Amino acid sequence: MLKMLLPIDGSTACNNAVSQFIELLGWYKEAPEIHLLNVQFPFHGDVSLFVDQESIKQYHLDEGLKDLNKARELLDQAGIAYQYHVVVGDAAKMIVQFATEHACDQIVIGPRGLGTVQGLLLGSVASKLIHLSPIPILLIK
């Protein structure tokens, strides 16, 4: 069974890519194992001096679940099984790390999302992934 990783940032472009991916599932002989991954940006500075680690962890989880909400809803409506994960760090590096550690066969992303550089033909995270990932990437518009 193929393992597919769908990085999810909660953007409209990302949710459109999930919708398109659902339509493309007929390409595969059998339904792939799908993992949704949301990467939260870490706090900068000395936030931990003022807020305990458990509260920070809960904040990242809550925000990640908000970002995953629409993608999960789309997959649930289509009756497609998936697992979801929320991690903290640099988006491109964490996506590659997760995909490698979980032996994913493909990373499926939209060409643009909520990256720091908007308005480019190819978003900054997608561009970094293409350079960093040893795992094939499927860009879905």
Average pLDDT of the chain, as a whole number: 87
Q: How far apart are CA 78 and CA 58, in angstroms?
A: 29
The pairing of strands 3-7 and 83-88 is unpaired
Nearest Cα to 68, choosing from 14, 133, 135, 130? 14
Specify whether the CB–CB gap between 107 and 129 falls below 8 A: yes
- The token pair at 123 is 């978003």
Three-state secondary structure along 47-113? Answer: HHHCCCHHHHHHHHHHHHHHHHHHHHHHHHHCCCCCEEEEEECCHHHHHHHHHHHCCCCEEEECCCC
**pLDDT tens-digit readout, 32-88:** 999 999 999 987 767 665 777 888 899 999 999 999 999 999 999 999 999 999 999
Q: What is the pLDDT of residue 125?
A: 82
Label residue 111 by pLDDT band (50, 70, 90): confident
33 token code pair: 């194992």
